[in-house]
Amino acid sequence: MPEKKLKLALPKGSLLEQTLKIFSSAGFEFIFTNRRSYTPAINDPEIECVLLRAQEIPRYVSKGMIDVGIAGDDWIGESEAKVKELASLEYSKKNVKKIKWVLAVSKKSDIKNLSDLEGKTIATELVKTVEKILKQRGVKARVEFSWGATEVKPGRFCDAIVELTETGSSIEANNLRIIETLFESGTKLITNESAYKNPWKREKMEDLAFLLAGSVEGRKNVMLMMHVPQDKLQETLKNLPETHPTIKKITGEPIYDVTLSVKNEEARTLIPKLKKMGCAEIVEFPINTSSK
């Protein structure tokens, strides 16, 4: 009987570090024999891993050469690959959120909106995607493929670019101005119909999807634990985000132990507010911790 193996593809390059962190929080660890290895070992004997360019993963998954892979909406759409989504993970190379593909021009340019690009040239990696957007918006412009260093091209080699950004810092550093965000792209766990129809692979992939989704969600939130005086309990609960806190009465004391999950960005404003309301021994801790 042949050995059961699930072929997994991870994106090499800028997204890899964050991907490995997400997998680590889900209990998966990778071992690289050297920095140039594209076939790391993983602490699951039923998974065989390979690193590929993010642009290529949807294509190889759709062809059945890879069972399951990590890929972005952007490259799934650009490749026009027929894949099945297992989980929406929505993380990027720096943050647990979607990235933006923006239309940008030189700060010296007179171009103010997409329609101003009629008859002009746009450079981007996502040629097919941008051509579709232009067609939908009724704008005729030339779209050129950019091999990289796209931010340096407006005003020199093209009139505008469509480029991805997380913080906008690279756009600003190259004296560009964002005209509009054309679309957002999130990270997905994808498979193909053939692999999904295999009962063993399907169960393995769905378990993987569940673990990774939990890992990503855990990175978006933190846990808060605090002691709340009995006479402040109702007021405190009214000021908490829409969540379901765990409330336990401390035996023999007019105090309640309250634990809840909140968004990372909410914690920094909520904690001082809770302290002013009389809550004490407030502790913040991550939901996901690596089990090492």
User: pLDDT tens-digit profile of 57-108?
Assistant: 999 999 999 999 999 999 999 999 999 999 999 787 666 678 899 999 999 9
pLDDT one-digit tens code per residue, 204-259: 999 999 999 988 888 778 889 999 999 999 999 998 987 789 999 999 999 999 99
Residue 176 lies inside a defined structural domain of this protein: yes
**Better-predicted residue by pLDDT, 265 or 247:** 247
List Cα–Cα distances, 220 to 73, 165, 214, in angstroms: 20, 20, 10
- Mean pLDDT over residues 106-112, rounded? 96
Domain co-membership, 37 together with 165: no
Share of the chain above pLDDT 70, in %: 96
Distance of CA 61 to the CA centre of its chain: 19
Do 134 and 147 have their domain in common? yes
Assess if residue 106 is contained within a domain: yes
Count of domains for the chain: 3
Contacts with 35 (C-beta within 8 Å, 6 or more apart), sequence order: none
Q: Do the domain assignments include residue 21?
A: yes
Distance CA 142, CA 134 (A): 10
- What is the CATH number for 243? 3.30.70.120
| Full residue range of the structural domain in which residue 46 is found | 6-96+187-219
pLDDT tops 90 at residue 192: yes
Same domain for 203 and 177:
no
117 inside domain: yes
The encoded tokens of residue 27 equal 């209990």
Residue 292: pLDDT over 80: no
Closest listed residue to residue 155, CA positions, set 102, 103, 101, 108: 108
Phi and psi at residue 199, in whole multiples of 5°? -55, -45
Over 60: is that where the pLDDT of 264 sits?
A: yes
Q: Which of 136, 163, 184 is the last residue of a domain?
A: 184
Q: How big is the chain by its Cα radius of gyration, in Å?
A: 24
Q: What pLDDT does 95 receive?
A: 63
Say what the pTM is.
0.79
Count, residues in the chain: 292
pLDDT tens string 155-186 = 999 999 999 998 888 999 999 999 999 999 99
Closest by CA to 7, choosing from 198, 185, 188, is 198
**79 in a domain, yes or no?**
yes
Please report where in the chains the tokens 């990696």 appear, as a residue: 125
Helix axes 199-220, 16-25, angle to 10 degrees: 100
Pair (104, 138) in one structural domain: yes
Beta 255-263 vs 246-249: how paired, if at all?
Answer: antiparallel
Q: Are residues 10 and 83 in the same domain?
A: yes
- When pLDDT is cut at 50, 70 and 90, the band that residue 3 belongs to is confident
Same-domain status, 200 and 282: no
Q: Domain of 124: which CATH number?
A: 3.40.190.10
Please tell me the predicted confidence (pLDDT) of residue 94: 62
pLDDT score, position 110: 95
Indicate whether 198 and 140 sit together in one domain. no
Q: Is 190 in contact with 86 (CB distance < 8 Å)? A: yes
Q: Which of 136, 167, 184 is the last residue of a domain?
A: 184
Residues 245, 111 share a domain = no
Asked, for residue 275, whether it belongs to a domain, the answer is: yes
> Band of the pLDDT at 289, cuts 50, 70, 90?
very low
Give a yes or no: residue 292 inside a domain. Answer: no
Average pLDDT, the chain: 92
